[in-house]
Amino acid sequence: MPGISIAYSSVHQIYQIALAAQELGELDNFFCSVIDAPGKWGALFSLIFGRDRLVNRRCSELNLHHVKEYPWPLAFQYFQQIQRKSLGPADWEITNNLFDQWAARQLKTVTSQLFVGVETCALRCLEVTHERGIKTLLDCHQVHPDFLDRVIAEAASDLNIPVPETIDTPTWRKQKLQEFELADFLLLISEPQKRSFLEAGFAPEKLATITLWADTSIFYPPPAPISKNPDILHVLFVGGLCLRKGVPYLLQAIELCGSNIELTLIGSKTSEINDFLKKSECRFNYVPTMTKAQLREYYWQSDVLVLPSLVDTFGWVAMEAMACGLPVIVSENCGVPVPDENWRVPIMNAEAIAEKLLTLHHNREYYASLGNIASNFAQKFTAKLYREQLQTLFKKILSRV
């Protein structure tokens, strides 16, 4: 009987991937750092580090018989973060590589016919499964590095600023490229991400795209209408305040719009666009990162979310905002689906953003209809649908074994 083994040290979609395999009746092993469940290391972590810290490492539907934890790299990382307040890419490299080495040892004896790993945490696992003739599916949460580097360099040149460091260290980039080549199939989450791999020369039949979802138990429309000043358009941005997210172009767009546009930026600041933030500091309200419940309140109080990302594999916040009944303006390189492609703007184009904002501001009746369209659209994308589509992919791969 074919079976599936899954391994990843962090979160992303991995718990839903494991649940999809279990629902299909094919889950052999789920190797993870921790799972917050009775009798597991994750339950102890929850007591030590706080339940909020483990909120994404819970999945009550999973049969714990299939789950095997290796908590030590994550524990070391947590204690480091407490001491140093922040973590860098090198810290994640260490955590992922230690976990990957452990998971690879486990895979030497499994009887599974399919292995599912996640980029930056699967190189040794892929080497072992390749040697054993086990089919492999790599879950990819970023665009191809060449695509990212090209777009970021173009924007830096356009804005006349130094090219910032990308999210990948040189060693991590090299590892990703090796993982992409070793895997039999790549699991992607959006069309822009797929485009980046096609441009890098990957065969279409190696790429499978399944869209993500919003948690509608957390993000939903306000229970009662919220009174807003009709003379002011409340614009919201959520994410890292960096070049990759296109923030300089949003700030330029707000300046082009003139008065009666109120911008709120939520997220952590980066030094790479400090000059743009300082120049425009009187034109926006800044709020640091917050809990999901607090963020939901900001979605409810706003008129539109703008995500002008130069590159965004998905754009969770846009799906969350739509689930809350908030229309969005996103870039053509933002992977999140939208009800109408007219909700998109070209990258690096402040004028296009400004035009959309002014249209909403001057046509309040038109704007009023968009909230229902957004929430109804977002509700179509669920974790259950994601798992069902993933199960179809699993069956397709296993049928070739």
Both 275 and 146 in one domain: the answer is no
Residue 329 placed within a domain: yes
In the Cβ-directed half-sphere of 74, how many Cα atoms lie within 13 Å? 24
The residue range of the domain holding 85 is: 4-213+383-398
Both 206 and 238 in one domain: the answer is no
Both 368 and 394 in one domain: the answer is no
Using the structure block, give the residue that is written with the tokens 């994410």: 239
| Residue 1: per-residue pLDDT | 57
| Residue 275: per-residue pLDDT | 93
Residue 218 placed within a domain: no
Both 186 and 39 in one domain: the answer is yes
Task: Give per-residue pLDDT as tens, 29-44.
Answer: 999 999 999 999 999 9
Dihedral (CA of 134, 138, 144, 146) sign: negative
Residue 220 placed within a domain: no
Q: Which residues, in sequence order, are bridge partners of residue 304? A: 235
In the Cβ-directed half-sphere of 29, how many Cα atoms lie within 13 Å? 23
CA distance 286 to 245: 16
160: left (phi over 0), alpha (psi -120 to 50) or beta: left
| Residue 228: per-residue pLDDT | 86
Both 298 and 182 in one domain: the answer is no
Amino acid symbol at 268:
S
Using the structure block, give the residue that is written with the tokens 């908590």: 71
Inter-CA distances, 274 with 256, 257, 277, Å: 20, 22, 5
Angle subtended by helix axes 170-182 and 89-107, to nearest 10: 30
3-state SS assignment for residue 301: helix
CATH classification at residue 61? 3.40.50
Q: Specify the number of domains making up the chain.
A: 2
pLDDT by position in tens, the chain (length 401): 579 999 999 999 999 999 999 999 999 999 999 999 999 999 999 998 888 888 889 999 999 999 999 999 999 888 888 777 777 778 889 999 999 999 999 999 999 999 999 999 999 999 999 999 999 999 999 999 999 999 999 999 999 999 988 778 889 899 999 999 999 999 999 999 999 999 999 999 999 999 999 899 999 999 998 888 889 999 999 999 999 999 999 999 999 999 899 999 999 998 899 999 999 988 999 998 888 889 999 999 999 999 999 999 999 999 999 999 999 999 999 999 999 999 999 999 999 999 999 999 998 888 888 999 999 999 999 999 999 999 999 999 999 87
Angle subtended by helix axes 123-132 and 89-107, to nearest 10: 20
Both 130 and 203 in one domain: the answer is yes
Both 206 and 296 in one domain: the answer is no
Q: Which residues, in sequence order, are bridge partners of residue 262? A: 234
Both 16 and 101 in one domain: the answer is yes
Residue 152 placed within a domain: yes
Both 283 and 390 in one domain: the answer is no
User: Are residues 221 and 324 in contact, defined by beta-carbon separation less than 8 angstroms?
Assistant: yes
| Residue 167: per-residue pLDDT | 73
Cα Rg of the chain, angstroms: 22
On average, the pLDDT of the chain sits at 94
Residue 65 placed within a domain: yes
| Residue 313: per-residue pLDDT | 97
User: Six-digit token pair at 350?
Assistant: 């402040």
CA distance 162 to 340: 35
Pairing status of strand 261-266 against strand 135-139 = unpaired
| Residue 60: per-residue pLDDT | 94
Q: What are phi and psi of 180, to 5 degrees?
A: -55, -40
CB contact burial 119-148 (16+ within 10 A = b; e otherwise): bbbbbbbbbbbeeeebbbbbbbbbbbbebb
Both 155 and 95 in one domain: the answer is yes
Both 117 and 209 in one domain: the answer is yes
3-state SS assignment for residue 24: coil
User: Six-digit token pair at 52?
Assistant: 């909020």
Both 370 and 393 in one domain: the answer is no
Residues in the chain: 401
User: Are residues 289 and 268 in contact, defined by beta-carbon separation less than 8 angstroms?
Assistant: yes
Residue 227 placed within a domain: no
Residue 35 placed within a domain: yes
CA distance 245 to 257: 20
| Residue 314: per-residue pLDDT | 97
Residue 219 placed within a domain: no
CATH classification at residue 335? 3.40.50.2000
Pairing status of strand 233-238 against strand 207-209 = unpaired
Q: What are phi and psi of 134, to 5 degrees?
A: -90, 130
From 317, 343, 319, select the one nearest 332 (Cα to Cα): 343
User: Are residues 96 and 123 in contact, defined by beta-carbon separation less than 8 angstroms?
Assistant: no
